[in-house]
Structure 1
């Protein structure tokens, strides 16, 4: 399969590099500045699974002229609209779009532009970050891609995708319940992002403070209640594991939103928390902690944009 990875950031760059290392036909669609950096330095990964540097096949949007078999979309929510325009020429009648963005809002955007049939469901489990040198640094051993048809069918095309991704140096799962999987991840990242950003620290430090654990556990229940109201009740073992993670007094864990916040970067507040809060409002749920985190990050985003405008 010809695979186009849209972006060579912390997520797409990581999995795309592993696929390329395993001999898959991978091209990265990148912005001009990243194109120049990759041409100069290569795509570099620092990982507990082994460091890697490759000379990737790269292309900019103006040079995409033919459809790909798979478009692997892993940009941040704020870059989605631009990415959709950039990748349009790569999407043909038989192209599979495999998005691993956070939340669920992007699914409607992609279906509106390219049709529902083109879009698969996707979940990515990895903790990576871009350092100051443009290297992708893997922060924990976990590395997994989950994919499936939205209607739960195990189609020939998704089997072919599974064959392409399997054995490429990371864990994979072909799912017949991908929407549930996406909600599970959404609740996980929303809870972790809410707690670390609202309470301004890693999980261990939060739980070492008086009432920190109570707020963390309240966040779990609020986020899970939204999923249940939407018809995607989070499985009990998943919830129990999440409760353990967010109440661990020795944990150094943060969240990608918190790491972006610490760097003064834009955060995915509306995609991860704001959209969840909207669903809560539709179902008249009490989600005061979720609401507080949304307000805190909206204030941050507004101040950040005001600073940039000066």
Structure 2
């Protein structure tokens, strides 16, 4: 099995190291000091499950890799449309692309045979078809990440918690390409269930992301602080309830109670969400996939979602103003 990890950051390098440990031929695509460290010392994983080091090939030039069986995308969703030149050398006729992104994927309505919104493009995550032109939906394997990692220093990945990467076909069912990938991930020490209906998993994770990510960016608060404050906790519950209503209107049924989802976030403790970390680092916020697409699906399914709309407007303005001040 040949695997390329495009965007070998915290999650990508961790998955690449695990697959390499399982015996796959792994190629990491990275840049800067991180790439230099990967070349010199390999991927060093520090984990409560046991530390380990692997030495997969690392480069900043995908043309040196060639066609692979799987591409694991470790990029932020808003970077997909511009990833074409990096992705093209890696793609053979049957290459599958696994996008380990937060939120609603560009392929969301692809393969929903008989659904009123079958093959409908979601502009928030595929504006004008720019993403699907680069990432053909036939190549997509969905992935929901239940894993927290960070780059402690160049080449060093701190694994904090979770090892589950749920995968599934946009059209549903269980295919050989998903089964083969799952076996390799499990052999590398990860959990990788193949879900016949991955969309339910997407919404369960999104219940938390859609609320905690933008609210943490707006308030600079950790997940525990948001849960401990009565008014923001109520706002989180309202946003989650609206999200579940949208999911059901779109044909999914995320089976997790709102209180349980909030409680799980509270137990994470004083953790900064990815959106808050990006804000503090002066990076573009991952708004479109996490909340913008949810509001768009609310429009398509005619579900009122006032709390989501208001928070979306506020965090979108925050992103625009924060980026203009860092230029």
> What TM-score, normalized to structure 1?
0.87
Choose the corresponding residue for 1:234, options 254, 268, 287: 254
1:95-132 C-alpha deviation (Å, 9 max, x unpaired): 11121112234336664435332222221211112235
Question: Aligned with 1:131: secondary structure?
Answer: strand
Match of 1:83 in 2: 83
Matched, 1:211 2:228: no
Q: Secondary structure at the match of 2:221?
A: coil
Offset of residue 285 of structure 1:
3.2
Instruction: Give distance in 2, aligned partners of 1:250 and 1:111.
Output: 35
Distance, in Å, in 1 between the alignment partners of 2:136 and 2:230 is 50
Of 120, 135, 154 in structure 1, the residue corresponding to residue 141 of structure 2 is 120
Determine if the alignment matches structure 1 residue 224 to structure 2 residue 239.
Answer: no
- The 5 A counterparts of 1:227-306 are 227-235=247-255, 237=256, 239-246=258-265, 248=266, 251-306=269-324
Per the TM alignment, residue 262 of structure 1 is displaced from its structure 2 partner at its CA by 3.2
Report the count of equivalent residues.
306
Residue 10 of structure 2 aligns to a residue whose secondary structure is: coil
Cα offset for 1:33?
5.3
Q: Secondary structure at the match of 1:224?
A: helix
Aligned-partner Cα distance in 2 for 1:120–1:146: 10
Mapped partners of 1:130, 1:250: distance in 2: 19
Q: Go from structure 1 to structure 2 and tell me whether the alpha carbon gap of 1:163 and 1:62 turns closer, same or farther (over 3 Å shift).
A: closer
Q: Kindly state the Cα deviation for residue 172 of structure 1 after the two structures are TM-superposed.
A: 1.4
Q: Aligned-pair distance for 1:231?
A: 1.4
Closer, same or farther: CA 211–3 of 1 in aligned 2, 3 Å: same
The answer to whether the Cα contact below 8 Å between 1:194 and 1:290 also exists between their aligned partners in 2 is: no
Q: CA contact under 8 A between 1:227 and 1:234: conserved in structure 2?
A: yes
1:135 maps to 2:153: no
Q: 1:24 and 1:44 mapped to 2: Cα distance?
A: 17
Question: Highest relative contact order (Cα 8 Å, sep 6+), 1 or 2?
Answer: 2
Q: Is the 8 A contact 2:282 2:326 kept in 1?
A: no
Give TM-score, length-normalised by structure 2: 0.83
1:6 alignment counterpart? 6
Equivalents in 1 of 2:301, 2:77: separation in Å? 25
Q: Distance in 2 between matches of 1:234 and 1:256?
A: 23
Query: CA distance change for structure 1 residues 74 and 194 in 2, over 3 Å: closer, same or farther?
Result: same
Match of residue 148 from structure 1: 168
Indicate conservation of the 8 Å contact 1:61/1:87, yes or no. Answer: no
CA distance in 2, matches of 1:306, 1:115: 33
Q: CA, structure 1 residues 36+82, in 2 after alignment: closer, same or farther (shift >3 Å)?
A: farther
Displacement of 1:177 in angstroms is 1.0
Distance 2:248 2:326 in 1: 39
Q: Which residue of 1 aligns with 2:120?
A: none
CA contact (8 A) 1:226 1:276 kept: yes
Give the alignment's Cα RMSD to 1 decimal: 2.5
Q: Distance in 2 between matches of 1:291 and 1:73?
A: 29
Q: Cα distance, 1:210 vs. partner?
A: 4.1
Q: Does the 8 A contact of 2:282 with 2:323 survive in 1?
A: no
Counterpart contact for 2:35–2:59, Cα < 8 Å: yes
- Secondary structure of the structure 2 residue equivalent to 1:174: coil
- Structure 2: distance between partners of 1:90 and 1:41: 25
Tell me the distance in 2 between the aligned counterparts of 1:82 and 1:184.
29
Cα drift, residue 218 of structure 1: 1.3
Aligned residue number for residue 163 of structure 1: 183
Of the candidates 206, 209, 220, which is equivalent to residue 186 of structure 1? 206
- Cα distance, 1:91 vs. partner? 0.8
